[in-house]
Amino acid sequence: MKVIRDPLWNNIRVDPLTLKLIDTRLFQRLRYIRQLGHAYLVYPGATHSRFEHALGAYHLARQTLTILGERGELAAVRADDSAIIRAAALLHDIGHYPFSHALEEIGVIDHEEVAGPLLSNGEIATILRTEIAPDAPERVHALMRGRSSSPLQGLISGSLDLDKIEYLKRDALMCGVPYGEIDVDRLINSLTVVTDPESGHLVMGVLEKGLSALESLLFAKHQMYRNVYWHHAVRGATAMYKRLVDDALSAGFLDARGLVGLTDEGLLNRLEAGGPQPLLNALRERRLYKRALDLPAAELEDGWGEWISSDRKRTIAAENALAEHFGLKAGDLLIDYPAKPRMLGVDLLVLRQGGALRKLTAEGWAAEINLPSLSDELYRSARRLRVFVTRPLDIADAELLDMLQTAGKSSFHTSAD
């Protein structure tokens, strides 16, 4: 076993198979993909990469599998499932685009789908097939997509997967904020294999004693979205980056398929090679757009503006229409309304003290865990509608909101025509 020193988990023990995967070109690329995109422009310490996060997820997978094995809970799974789980934890971000999740917001293929060909061809596929099983790449990909029949699926993709635990702890540490206080040891010791009474299949569940630790994770997630991931300056920089790449794709200067293998700096250098880029220069020099509108979703009607996060062409058309109205150039006004409906989603089987199973969902069981009933309110308080501009606009919030709604309707009709 090799040991890798890590600022969050201290010593990460790496087995020979994992070391082979780490040494592949595709995995080494993750060193150059920032975990939090443009958050480093607000939190200078947030320069950590997908590489460190992937190692941390692997570390938590090893720890959890050891605990499950000691309790005899791996007896009912395939003999090579543990190796598959460790590989999936390590490789779960192999398909990530430059600057984290931002490009998925403009409609490019989800990074889990991108990972398919990367896992089934080339050096990673050879290692997985040779060292684990002939069907290992496909099984790893199924876990990453949440479509595996393995009882251990929930460790890789689910309400309480190891990815969430790792990134919340690491992101809080590197940003220097006190919002990632999660009882990790209690959580992973509370994970257990149970039989789903509806399907009869073995699935991951949680022991009742771990509910308080689960609650701490959900609160930490809400606080991190509110204060880091959806911080106004972070979202402003993200909106600038999205528009920059979108314009390059529309102009044919970039090909969406070519984004997969690029690093953060690789993409910026390619954009720079295309000639003068005001948005790119502004990002490099941290001349971020300012807020002309900033309203919490709680102050908007239910369902208002969902097209902003789901219909990219319509959003750009509305941005251009408003920019023209205010005498700005196209790209000088940007609209942002991020969406993550299941930010605090919970769908878990809980093994109670007496041996009974109970389903914990976002709809209830308030007597045992109160956060699910508050999840919608917390989501609506963290989510904000913002308009970013290059110069101040002399207009009231209500008037700008009406104009935004009108611009959205006009762009919808234009698109439909």
Q: At 291, is the pLDDT very low, low, confident or very high (cuts 50, 70, 90)?
A: very high
> Would residue 43 count as lying in a domain?
yes
> Would residue 117 count as lying in a domain?
yes
- Mean pLDDT, residues 239-264 taken together: 91
> Would residue 187 count as lying in a domain?
yes
> Would residue 62 count as lying in a domain?
yes
Q: At 362, is the pLDDT very low, low, confident or very high (cuts 50, 70, 90)?
A: low
Contact criterion met (CB below 8 Å) for 30 and 51: yes
* Top-confidence range, 58-67, 301-310, 342-351: 58-67
pTM above 0.75, yes or no: yes
User: In the predicted model, is pLDDT for residue 344 greater than 80?
Assistant: no
Residue 338's pLDDT is: 95
Q: How far apart are CA 93 and CA 98, in angstroms?
A: 11
104 is in which domain, residue-wise?
A: 2-229
Contact criterion met (CB below 8 Å) for 328 and 334: no
User: In the predicted model, is pLDDT for residue 58 greater than 70?
Assistant: yes
Residue 243's pLDDT is: 96
Q: At 8, is the pLDDT very low, low, confident or very high (cuts 50, 70, 90)?
A: very high
Q: What is the mean pLDDT of the chain?
A: 91
Number of domains forming the structure of the chain: 1
Residue 365's pLDDT is: 55
| Residue that wins the pLDDT comparison between 4 and 107 | 4
Q: How far apart are CA 191 and CA 158, in angstroms?
A: 12
User: In the predicted model, is pLDDT for residue 67 greater than 90?
Assistant: yes
> Would residue 290 count as lying in a domain?
no
Q: How far apart are CA 69 and CA 76, in angstroms?
A: 11
Q: At 187, is the pLDDT very low, low, confident or very high (cuts 50, 70, 90)?
A: very high
Contact criterion met (CB below 8 Å) for 21 and 127: yes
User: In the predicted model, is pLDDT for residue 301 greater than 70?
Assistant: yes
Q: At 364, is the pLDDT very low, low, confident or very high (cuts 50, 70, 90)?
A: low
Report which secondary-structure segment, H or E, holds 380. helix 371-382
The rounded radius of gyration (Å) of the Cα atoms in the chain is 22
> Would residue 383 count as lying in a domain?
no
- Mean pLDDT, residues 161-181 taken together: 93
pLDDT in tens, 322-340: 999 999 999 999 999 999 8
Q: How far is CA 347 from CA 115, 167, 212, 344, in A?
A: 26, 20, 16, 10
Residue 200's pLDDT is: 93
- Mean pLDDT, residues 82-104 taken together: 93
Q: At 4, is the pLDDT very low, low, confident or very high (cuts 50, 70, 90)?
A: very high
> Residue 330: how many CA atoms within 13 Å on its side-chain side?
10
> Would residue 364 count as lying in a domain?
no
Q: Between helices 136-144 and 111-120, what is the axis angle to 10°?
A: 170
Residues 143, 144, 149, CA angle at the centre, nearest 5°?
Answer: 20
Q: What's 24's domain CATH number? A: 1.10.3210.10
Q: At 391, is the pLDDT very low, low, confident or very high (cuts 50, 70, 90)?
A: very high
Residue 259's pLDDT is: 87
User: In the predicted model, is pLDDT for residue 413 greater than 70?
Assistant: no
Q: What tokens does 279 get?
A: 């948005």
Contact criterion met (CB below 8 Å) for 137 and 124: yes
Q: How far apart are CA 143 and CA 57, in angstroms?
A: 14
- Mean pLDDT, residues 231-257 taken together: 93
Of 43-57, 101-115, 271-285, 371-385, least confident by mean pLDDT is: 371-385
Q: Between helices 81-91 and 50-70, what is the axis angle to 10°?
A: 160
User: In the predicted model, is pLDDT for residue 159 greater than 60?
Assistant: yes
> Would residue 175 count as lying in a domain?
yes
- Mean pLDDT, residues 380-388 taken together: 93
Share of the chain above pLDDT 70, in %: 96
Share of the chain above pLDDT 90, in %: 74
Q: How far is CA 412 from CA 26, 110, 194, 373, 405, in A?
A: 40, 24, 48, 35, 11
User: In the predicted model, is pLDDT for residue 166 greater than 90?
Assistant: yes
Of 117-121, 369-373, 390-394, 407-411, least confident by mean pLDDT is: 369-373
What's the 3-state SS for 99-164? CCCHHHHHCCCCHHHHHHHHHHCHHHHHHHHHHCCCCHHHHHHHHHCCCCCCCCHHHCCCCCCHHH
Q: How far is CA 283 from CA 107, 113, 240, 329, 343, in A?
A: 22, 29, 8, 17, 28
What's the 3-state SS for 32-52? HCECCHHHHHCCCCCCCEHHH
Residue 257's pLDDT is: 82
Q: How far apart are CA 125 and CA 115, in angstroms?
A: 11
